[in-house]
Each structure stands twice: as C-alpha cells, then as structure tokens.
Amino acid sequence: MPRCWRRSSRAGRSATCDLINNSMMSHNKYVQQDALEKLDLDRVKSVKRAKIPEAQITDHAIGAAFYGQCIGYRTDAFGGRKPESWADFWDTKVFKGGRSMVSPDGDLPELEFALLADGVPMDKLYPLDVDRAFKVLTRLRGDIKKYWDSGPLPGVLLSRQEVTMSTVWDGRLADLQKQGVPVERQLNGMRRQFSGYAIAKGAANIDAAYKLMDFSLRAESQAALVKFFPSNPSSPVAYAKLTDEERNASAGAPKYYDKGFDADVEWWLKNESAVTKRWLEWAR
C-alpha cells in the first residue's frame, strides 16, 4: 500500500502529497505518467553511507526495503522433512497436501517459481519463458486449493490446515509462530521486490521531502524499523546494527541474501498486462 507524507498544502499545486513510499515498480509507472520529481542525489547524503545497492537507485526513486515472496509450510505435515526448493513445492508425492499460490490481485504471477521448479537457474530466469512457466504451473494446478489475494491469507490457510504449503510474503508468518502455529518459511528461491521513496511532481514541501527521505534511508533508521515491523532493509550496513536474533529473522540478512533473486522490474513492466491476462484465462 502506498504511503504519502506532507506537512502542509499550498494553493495552486496539483500534488496531494510530497514524499511517496511505494514499490519501485509502481514508481516506474509513475515516471511514465510524469508524476515524480527527478531526484537530486546530492540532497540524499545517506544513500552512499548506507551503501544502498546501485540497482535500487534510479533517477526518480530510491529503494529502502524489500519483501521476499517465498515458501511457507507446516512443519508438522511431512514427517520431519522440510521443503528445500521450489521443486519440493511442486512435489506433492513426497510433500503431500494442498497448495496455495498468489492471484494477480495479490501480487505478480509467480512464473519465476515454476521455472525454478523446472530447473532453470536463478541467474538465467529473465527474460522469463512464459510458455514453459505455464506448462509447469499446469502440472500443479489440480493441487492448488486457493489463490490468495491478500497478505494474511496464506497464513490463514496454513493455520486451518487447508494447505500444507503456500507462497507467502516472508514476514507474514512471524505472528503465527509467536502464537505457536507450526509454520516456517523457506527462503531458497525467494523473489525480492523493493519498495522505496520518491517525491511527487509539484510537491509543495520539497525540502522537507528530501530531509525525510534522507533520514529514512539512513542505515540507523532502516535498522530501527526492523525492531517494530518485519522489514528487510535495502542497506547492507543496517544489518550490522541488529542483534543476531533480529538479523536472522530478516530475509535480507547476509546468510539468506544469495538464496534469492530480484524481480526484474523492467521485464514485468513490459509484460505484466499480457501475463496477467493469460493467467486469468489459465486459472478459469
């Protein structure tokens, strides 16, 4: 969900907010609509100090955190075994039980997971082989009990034992685990999608927007957020400021990072509409 901040309004300006926190993919769409200011990176000093990855620094937005889409599973469902990969997610003979995957109302279709299950290496995923991905999805279709469209739903389905495995946003199982529900996540092959900050075109309080952006992107600020919210900072420096427990709970921790991949925003911007249309026809 996008978040906007502003301190005050000024007549004659069209922007209804100043600083926007949204997905980097959404920011790319806003750029196409000429809705964002081009950033002056000299006014965001924290970017260099926080060592934010270059891939998350664009002319109009800067990535602050990511969420990882991964496997969630019941730990009591497989006789002590645990799924290690997307191939295991597809293996309903060894890992018995129903599955749940996302619908386009919840997130991007999960073509990458199908390709990983079929043996495509993470560094060879893009451009996605759409035909191959849908063939692999079809192999699992009969075992998919529900397509989820909101973040809490995978946890609900796992809690009710309606499924034994589901795709899930990585931070969504933490509360269930605290309640004693036997669920766990598998981060191998997780898909990372970043969110970040941008300034609205015609922002009335542009100086304040830069100051808040600069503050929010500091490694200290990103680390502090983790203590109150299941966030995965974009700054690698932030993880050194966390306790071992906090760090290991984050999907962005160094021990997990190479297990996942970044969603190719450019590919999805070009292909999301066509893939979604095909997914809707496939899921009927």
Domain ranges of the chain: 3-65+193-260, 69-191+262-282
Q: Are 66 and 236 in contact (CB under 8 A)?
A: no
Tell the residue number behind the tokens 């959404």, with chain if given.
26
pLDDT at res. 5: 53
Tell the residue number behind the tokens 């899930």, with chain if given.
168
Say if residue 168 is exposed, middle or buried (CB neighbours under 10 Å; 0-12, 13-18, 19+). Answer: buried
Mean pLDDT of the chain: 93
> Is residue 6 predicted with pLDDT exceeding 60?
no
Taking only Cα atoms into account, the Rg of the chain, rounded to an integer number of angstroms, comes to 20
**Band of the pLDDT at 231, cuts 50, 70, 90?**
confident
User: How is domain 69-191+262-282 classified at the CATH fold level?
Assistant: D-Maltodextrin-Binding Protein; domain 2 (3.40.190)
For residues 95-111, average pLDDT: 97
> Is residue 4 predicted with pLDDT exceeding 80?
no
pLDDT digits (tens, 9 = 90+) for 147-196: 999 999 999 999 999 999 999 999 899 889 989 999 999 999 999 999 99
- Domains 3-65+193-260 and 69-191+262-282 fall in the same CATH topology: yes
pLDDT at res. 174: 87
> Is residue 82 predicted with pLDDT exceeding 80?
yes
Calpha distance 40→47 (Å, rounded): 12
Q: At what angle do helices 265-282 and 24-32 cross, to 10 degrees?
A: 100
- Both tokens of 91, joined, read 């293996």
Q: What percent of the chain has pLDDT over 90?
A: 88
> Is residue 252 predicted with pLDDT exceeding 60?
yes
Distance of CA 158 to the CA centre of its chain: 20
**CATH hierarchy code of domain 3-65+193-260:** 3.40.190.10
**Band of the pLDDT at 1, cuts 50, 70, 90?**
very low
- DSSP string across 54-67: GGGB-SS-EEEEEE
Tell the residue number behind the tokens 């309606």, with chain if given.
162
pLDDT digits (tens, 9 = 90+) for 122-135: 999 999 999 999 99
Beta-strand runs (E) in the chain: 3-5, 19-23, 62-74, 99-102, 144-148, 165-169, 183-199, 232-233, 261-262
> Is residue 34 predicted with pLDDT exceeding 60?
yes
